[in-house]
Chains A and B, each alone.
Chain A
Amino acid sequence: DTGVSQDPRHKITKRGQNVTFRCDPISEHNRLYWYRQTLGQGPEFLTYFQNEAQLEKSRLLSDRFSAERPKGSFSTLEIQRTEQGDSAMYLCASSSRSNEQFFGPGTRLTVL
């Protein structure tokens, strides 16, 4: 399977804990995106990388959130001191030069 993969698929954590998610994009794609999606809503843009450079961050991305793409391949999204409001589906997408973004299956985060 050469699509976008995300790990883990599900994460349950207690409030205050840190969590880290991983995304592996389609191998030839240089652009990588993170989104958050809550029930009944469309995906909300969080941040965007072109190769290893983080080019844009949404205001939704508070200082508890950090994303990295150290070698321009896989990316990680870390949430520190999780809050119940962080419960959501976190989606990763990748694209080449066009805007056609291909999504992974998502990581479902539940904060208790």
Chain B
Amino acid sequence: GQQLNQSPQSMFIQEGEDVSMNCTSSSIFNTWLWYKQDPGEGPVLLIALYKAGELTSNGRLTAQFGTTRKDSFLNISASIPSDVGIYFCAGFTNAGKSTFGDGTTLTVKP
């Protein structure tokens, strides 16, 4: 089946630093979504991407839909302590079938 490789697996950064993470796949997706999950809670949708090459921002978050449609990137600028959590990418086919990455765990040191 389809698999997503999400990297890095974890990040330890200082407050104020910028963060970058990405997902790659051998398969083409038509939609990329990025989620953040806190312990014991469901994932919360951050950004949705629908077109190859699309660059979308949500506050300090910026995500891009790769031009090959096989990858996506998420950047967080000027990180703050509440950015701590697990970030997931998810790729969707036209049939609505989803594949999630295994997450990037972000730790922000004050």
> Which single residue of chain B is at the shortest CB-CB distance from A106?
B42
How far, in whole Å, are A2 and B29 apart by their CA atoms in the complex? 30
Most buried by B among A91, A103, A105: A103
Chain A interface residue number, banded: 20 to 34
Count, chain B residues at interface, CB 8 A: 25
A48 to B4 alpha-carbon distance, docked (Å) = 20
Interchain CB contact under 8 A, A99 and B45 = no
Assess the B42–A40 pair: CB atoms within 8 A.
no
CB of A65 closer than 8 Å to a CB of B: no
* Minimum Cβ distance to chain B for residue A109 (Å): 13
A48/B102 contact (C-beta < 8 A), A103-B44, A108-B40 known: no
Contact with B along A22-53 (1 / 0, CB 8 A): 00000000010100000011111100100000
Q: Is the CB of A103 within 8 A of B92?
A: no
Interface of B is mostly: strand
- Give the residues in chain B near A102, CB-CB below 8 Å: 45
Interface stretch of the complex, out of B13-21, B65-73, B76-84, B93-101: B93-101
Residues of A within 8 A of B43 (CB): 43, 91, 103
> B106 contacts which chain A residues (CB < 8 A)?
none
Q: Please state if B33 and A104 are interface contacts (CB–CB under 8 Å).
A: no
A-B contact count (CB 8 A): 62
Q: Are B33 and A99 in contact (CB under 8 A)?
A: yes
A71 to B40, CA, bound (A): 29
Cβ of A62 under 8 Å from chain B: no
Question: How far apart sit A100 and B46, CA to CA, in the bound complex (Å)?
Answer: 10
B74 at the interface (CB under 8 A from A): no
Would you call B31 an interface residue if the criterion is a C-beta within 8 Å of the partner chain's C-beta atoms? Answer: yes
Contacts of A45 in B (CB 8 A): 97-99
Interchain CA distance A6-B99 in the complex, whole Å: 22
User: How far in angstroms is the closest Cβ of chain A from B75?
Assistant: 20
Q: Which residues of A contact B (CB under 8 A)?
A: 4, 6, 31, 33, 40-45, 48, 56, 91, 93, 98-106, 108
